[in-house]
Amino acid sequence: MEIYISGGTHVGTDVEDRVEAIEDNIGEPDAVFLEDRVSNHRKKEVAINWVAAPLLLVGLKSVLKFIWLFSNFLKTDEEIVEYFQEEYDLEPYYVDKPVHSIIGSQYRDWGLANWSLLVMPAVLIYLPFGIIGILLAIVSLITGAISVIIAYLSAVHAERNIYMMNRIAEISENNEYETACVITGREHDSDLRLLVRRFDGIELANDSEN
């Protein structure tokens, strides 16, 4: 299977240019892979993760909400997927690793990272600082959420890339696809291109762009 990896911004992306680049390289794709995650975890597993990493999960949900709000005004990479769905009647494959799988596999570590960041806001609230203490606690919470999100994204970057390529390889083995495109964020683009070389039966259509 020949794949074209289209990496770019999730919001504010140039939909027309990315679609044109895909079609110029592989024509009509047989499959579309994208980064979004599908989670079918049991409620108990999700609840454990929320107890272990509340700050991280609230932060990630806030980021997604922020992106969703901007998507009402700017073009997103989801429009690329929608184009191929409508133009070629394709259903996309979601190949990213779900966040609850990542946290659940190391929930003690993520729990320690999360709850250690909640100590300072709790102390500030209970100390007799009044409004200033509350404001400092809020700032501390926001700073903690940002830091744990950055730590999460950095720590799981390689894990997600490997998972995505394994899923793409698995799907390509189970189907007779000749061409496919991968819609992903710019931060995954170069790493996924390097990983392609490890998989037999998968060739990179835009290898010359490296």
**Are 34 and 81 a contacting pair, CB within 8 Å?**
yes
Alpha-carbon distances, residue 90 vs 80, 94, 170 (angstroms):
12, 13, 18
| pLDDT, averaged in runs of 10, over the chain (210 residues) | 91 89 94 79 85 90 80 81 92 90 88 88 80 87 90 90 93 90 91 90 77
Q: Which pLDDT belongs to residue 208?
A: 60
Per-residue exposure over 100-117, b if at least 16 CB sit within 10 Å of its own CB, e if not: bbbbbeebeebbebbeeb
Listed in sequence order, the DSSP H helices in the chain are 15-26, 43-52, 54-71, 78-88, 99-105, 107-126, 130-155, 157-174, 186-196
Beta-bridge partners for 203: 2
Beta-bridge partners for 32: 181
Does residue 173 sit in helix, strand or coil? helix
Beta-bridge partners for 184: 7
Q: Is the dihedral of CA 68, 160, 163, 55 positive or negative?
A: negative
CA distance 5 to 209: 10
Q: Which pLDDT belongs to residue 180?
A: 95
Domain of 179 in residue numbering reads as 2-209
| Nearest alpha carbon to residue 10 among 107, 96, 120, 115 | 96
Tell me the pTM. 0.81
Note the pLDDT tens digit of each residue in 56-75: 999 888 888 887 777 667 78
The CB-side HSE value for 109 (13 A sphere, CA atoms) comes to 9
Q: Which pLDDT belongs to residue 39?
A: 64
Number of domains in the chain: 1
